[in-house]
Amino acid sequence: MVNAVLAVALMLLVEFAISGSFQVPEPYLWAGLLIWLVIFAGQFWRQRHLCRSCEEPTKSSRPSH
């Protein structure tokens, strides 16, 4: 979530540097939403994967004879 906010802030900063105003164009809002969704989905998937790997019993890398 913080990464998405920082990405949008960076886009706004670049827009201000180029145009001299903080008017937020609609494509920036859609880009910010897309960035937020991608980051949220990635973090959700990562957390889900970590939780599942904790529940599985650990397998030894050495073969038992």
48 HSE (CA, 13 A, CB side): 6
What is the per-residue pLDDT for 1?
A: 62
What confidence score (pLDDT) does residue 63 get? Answer: 60
For residues 65 and 50, give the distance between their C-alpha atoms in angstroms, rounded to a whole number: 31
Low-confidence ranges of the chain (pLDDT < 70): 1, 4, 55-65
- Report how many domains make up the chain: 1
pLDDT value at residue 12? 80
Q: Buried b vs exposed e over 19-54: b needs ≥16 C-beta within 10 Å? A: eeeeeeeeeeeeebeebbeebeeeeeeeeeeeeeee
- Which domain covers residue 27, as residue numbers? 1-55
| Residue 65 counted as domain residue | no
Tell me the pLDDT of the chain averaged across its residues.
77
> Which pLDDT belongs to residue 62?
57
Residue 50 inside a domain? The answer is: yes
**63 within some domain:** no
pTM: 0.50
Question: Is 64 a domain residue?
Answer: no
